[in-house]
Amino acid sequence: MGKITVENVNVPGHTAQVDAEKYEAMKKAIIKVTPKAAPGLTAAEMIEKVTPILPSDLWPGGAKVGWWQKTVQLDLEAKGMLKRDAAAKPMRWYRA
């Protein structure tokens, strides 16, 4: 499937290339589990919810799920698909 370019909402203008198949699988899972309204999910809750629905061949034993969740979450924020409630402690995200 190749590579896909991702952005980082915290570092405007910075992009990186990541595996497109893993990106798309994680994006689909994050969109599925993240509520449409606040209060949303913490990063830990998001990881907990996406892990069981991710393809096990891409993440054997849940390896690197946290890294991929954060990478895709930051990209989806940069693209305006997720919103951050920075006032919440810990931070929470919901769909835009």
Domain ranges of the chain: 3-95
Judge whether residue 1 has pLDDT over 80: no
The per-residue pLDDT for 41 is: 97
Q: Which two tokens stand for residue 64?
A: 């690197």
pLDDT class of 2 with cuts at 50, 70, 90: very high
The per-residue pLDDT for 92 is: 97
Instruction: Give residue 18's region: left, alpha or beta (phi > 0; psi -120 to 50).
Output: beta
The per-residue pLDDT for 14 is: 92
pLDDT class of 18 with cuts at 50, 70, 90: very high
Q: Which two tokens stand for residue 38?
A: 């606040």
Listed residue (64, 93, 55) closest to 77, CA to CA: 93
Give the model confidence (pLDDT) of 23-67 as tens digits.
999 999 999 999 999 999 999 999 999 999 999 999 999 999 999
